Amino acid sequence: MSENVILVDTNDKEVGIMEKMEAHKKGLLHRCFSIFVFNSKKELLIQKRAAGKYHCGGLWTNTVCSHPRSGEDINQAVHRRLQEEMGFDCELKEVTSFIYKSKFDNGLTENEYDHVFVGEYDQEPVINKEEADEFKWIGIDELKKDINSSPDNYTPWFKIIISQHWRKISAILNSIS
């Protein structure tokens, strides 16, 4: 089954629909989301993307990253994908959005309008092995240190969010339990 993505302009206004791989081959701007789930110890749940993913396989990234379906509200999409990839759902709050573009060696380009969501959950996930090979909870100081020493182990969007948008995430994180 082929998946579609929602093409958007730089104001996140929908301008069309395109098959996901075609949009990534052409490098067209499309809507996506990144979910950051923390436990009550303020550790972040990160996943190692499945080795067989179409790009960034085997790299560590935020809890979930994906695209809403055509006609699907982004708030519905984040809960659907959190359940599909990590086997749980929790309350999520959107904290920021940004545009990034990253070209990969396989000829694909991520050109995304990324909506960043934050939530809290205190149990272990049940990961979907088609999406993620591993998961771990990690403190932010340890994570930042590892990103600095081994940046090639992490996805481009994850590094951007941690380096440029952490303050907004941290503000929300400090307001939950």
Structure confidence at residue 52 as a pLDDT band (50, 70, 90):
confident
* The pLDDT of residue 143: 96
Mean pLDDT, residues 128-146 taken together: 95
Residue 54 has pLDDT above 90, yes or no: no
The residue among 57, 80, 62, 60 whose CA lies nearest residue 3 is 80
Contacts of residue 2, defined as CB under 8 A and 6 or more positions apart, other chains included, come to: 19, 20, 21
Do 67 and 24 form a contact (C-beta atoms < 8 A)? no
Q: What is the pLDDT of residues 69-105, one digit of tens each?
A: 999 999 999 999 999 999 999 999 999 999 999 998 8
Structure confidence at residue 176 as a pLDDT band (50, 70, 90):
low
Q: What is the pTM of this model?
A: 0.94
- Catalytic option among 56, 85, 110, 112: 112
Q: Give a three-class secondary structure readout of 79-144.
A: HHHHHHHHCCCCCEEEEEEEEEEEECCCCCEEEEEEEEEEEECCCCCCCCCCCEEEEEEECHHHHH
| 90 carries an active-site annotation | no
Contacts of residue 124, defined as CB under 8 A and 6 or more positions apart, other chains included, come to: none
For the record, the structure tokens of 154 come out as 């992490």
* The pLDDT of residue 56: 72
* The pLDDT of residue 107: 85
For the record, the structure tokens of 18 come out as 């395109």
Q: Which domains does the chain have, with CATH numbers?
A: 4-175 (3.90.79.10)
| 134 carries an active-site annotation | no
- Among the listed ranges 50-54, 126-130, 148-152, which one has the minimum average pLDDT value? 50-54
- Catalytic option among 32, 56, 65, 110: 65
Q: What is the pLDDT of residues 14-43, one digit of tens each?
A: 999 999 999 999 999 999 999 999 999 999
* The pLDDT of residue 172: 82
